[in-house]
Amino acid sequence: MTEQIGFIGLGTMGKWMALNMMKAGFPLTVYDINPAAVQFLAGQGAGAAQSPADVAAKVDWLFLSLPDTEVVEKAIFGEKGIVQGARPGLALVDLSTIGYIATLDIDRKLKEKGILFADAPVSGMEARAKEGKITVMFGGDEGLFQTVRPAFDAIGNQIVYMGAVGCGQLTKLINQLLFNIS
* Catalytic positions: 172
What pairing do the DSSP bridges indicate for beta strands 61-64 and 47-48?
unpaired
Q: Which residues contact 123 (CB under 8 A, 6 or more apart)?
A: 134, 135, 137, 172, 175
Q: Which residues contact 151 (CB under 8 A, 6 or more apart)?
A: 5, 21, 24, 26, 61, 63
